[in-house]
Structure 1
Amino acid sequence: MNDRTQGSSLFQDALDFAKANWWMFLLGGLLYIIFGVLALSRPAAALLGLSVLFACFILVDGFISAIRALMAKGADGRWWVFFGGLVSVLIGIYALTGPVTAMLLFVTVIAFQAIFFGVAVFMFGVSIRKVVRSEWLLYLAGILSVVFGLLLIWAPGIGGLSVSMMIGAWALVIGILRVLFAFRVRSLVRHAV
């Protein structure tokens, strides 16, 4: 089988899957739209929901890391992984004890990620400045990311609401695109019959 035949069979398989399951794309798109509308109309509630999910993720991830470290008998560094997992479990439990704590934890993690990303992008621009002419775009992206992270630390409530609204807008756009895709695939099914 040559590459062209294999590529077309993969395309046909994907198309067949999309046709048979167009309703999944529609349902997923509707759920995205509902979440997006709710997040945009009630950003504090959306932020709370995302924060609680994030705290649950930290708790489960820490628990799994601790268990895996205990099961890896004789492995170098397993106690560091166990300790890190235990700390994550404690942070997750603490965050779940109060909604404000969960929101502050969520926003703080986003803030530090933005700062780290900004510094890394800025330094990448410095390292390639002799080869690339538009490295100023990397400097600008890095500086804006650091400023965004610092603003989140300075005003976590306002920053958290803006993050919630950005996520809501993203979910709304993705939901609309998924619904449009579902109807497009459904029309292919109708024309094939």
Structure 2
Amino acid sequence: MNETLLRNWWLLAVRGAIAIVFGVLALAWPAVTLLTLAVLFAAFALLGGAVWIFGAIKYRGEDRHWWMLLLLGLVSLAVGVLATFNPAITLLTLILLMGANAVVSGVLDIVIAIRVRKFIRGEWLLLLSGVVSIVFGLIVLLFPLGAGAVLLAAMVGVYAIVTGVLMLVLAVRVRTWSRINAGRSSPAAGTV
């Protein structure tokens, strides 16, 4: 996994950019209907999941921990498909799906950050993104009916922008670090 992220910093950048665009759209339309929010969330989950799945499959032969990226992608993709094919889903169910997705994504981000900590600098950004995801997910899961659609859109927008910015900053740091260390021998892909 470490070699995959080091050589393909753009996976982090694309995920971050998708999150920021989703967050801005959610904030720009605070009075979105449930259907629009479901479509935005489905697109966010589908695109984010596709990015991780692509990276995992592309480097599965070179990285023995490729399955972690695949798992993150599959979880996001499954949630996105569910939201896509059931747009009339109730607000409570949509909120719970968003919360569960954020918690699972956060846990997997933390696991990935811990696994790459010896090979890249700035892994704390991925760790922080995971913590933000877990906190957001827990708030949504613990208080699902306390927020109306407008507040939910604002919460989701802020969450997506914060995690997106963290991913972009991490992508830049990984890109810089991998360029600096390109001439040095890199650790074996399976050592983490």
| TM class by smaller structure | 0.3 to 0.5
Pair member with larger Rg: 1
User: Comparing both structures, which one devotes a greater share of its residues to helix?
Assistant: 1
